[in-house]
Amino acid sequence: MSSYESLLVERDDRGVVTITLDNPRRKNAIHAVMFRELREVFRSITERPQDRVVVVTGAGDAFCSGADLSGSADSVERLHVLHHMRNIGETVLALAQLQQPVIAKVNGDAIGAGMNLALGCDLIYASDRARFSEIFAKRGLSIDFGGSWLLPRLVGIHKAKELALLADMIDAHEADRLGLVNRVVAHDDLDAFVDDIAARLAAGPPIALGLTKRLLNEAKDVTLAEAVEHEAMAQAVNGGTSDMQNAILAFREKRTPTFEGR
């Protein structure tokens, strides 16, 4: 287990990295140190090919209650808000730039920046006890942590405006209906369910999965002609890997391939 002040970072022998926001007394509200440490751990994972998949979750009974606003207005001013927000933006980008699949295991409330942290992950599995809210307007704030970019891409512009401007709380089943989560799981089954998904991803071909993730992330920002060209380039990369050769041989031999990420 890696040592951080505000996070628990655990790695297992399958290549699964579990990042737990560890501020349970404040429902895992993200303070400046946690933003920095999240940025650091995301960047460290990009340099570790042995890390195959990432799971982000929260300690206790919440995923993340958003940014920690417990300080006074004067203390917020002393943080030099623009500089602070740009650091938060760097954390968002560090998450987005991960080549590995990232799973949000939403074990409880995901509010404000916590909701957008979950939305920034590739797959979102939520406890049936989870709730979501773009709470910012009720705190006199505008949407952040990448939410202005992520939310309309997931639910469309008008529903995104409704969620952000009214700042209502929605339950996990409504989030599922809107397409904000991949699946709602009974709370007591969530750990085992996500562990199975993480194991399946960790056993997959890392290079091919990373390229697929990139192609899908870029899909809305390119033309069809650009997309098929990017697909061709990705398959050319895959064709040069031992993982693809092993997969073809395993198919012929009717066995499950073992992928090594090379």
Q: What residue segments make up the domains of the chain, in order of their start?
A: 2-202, 206-252
Averaged pLDDT, groups of 10, the chain, 262 residues long: 89 97 96 96 96 98 93 53 91 98 98 98 98 97 97 97 98 98 98 98 97 96 97 96 94 93 90
What is this structure's pTM? 0.93
Looking at residue 1, its pLDDT comes to 64
Q: Residue 152 has what pLDDT? A: 97
Write down the residue that tokens 């960790």 correspond to: 202
Alpha-carbon distance 133 to 90, whole Å?
A: 22
When the candidates are 3.90.226.10, 3.20.20.80, 3.20.20.150, 3.60.150.10, the CATH number that belongs to 2-202 is 3.90.226.10
Helix axes 224-239, 206-218, angle to 10 degrees: 170
Q: What is the pLDDT of residue 74?
A: 47
Residue 51: name the closest of 2, 105, 121, 99 by CA: 99
Question: In terms of DSSP H, where are the helices of the chain?
Answer: 32-46, 73-78, 81-96, 113-119, 147-155, 157-166, 172-178, 190-202, 206-218, 224-239, 242-252
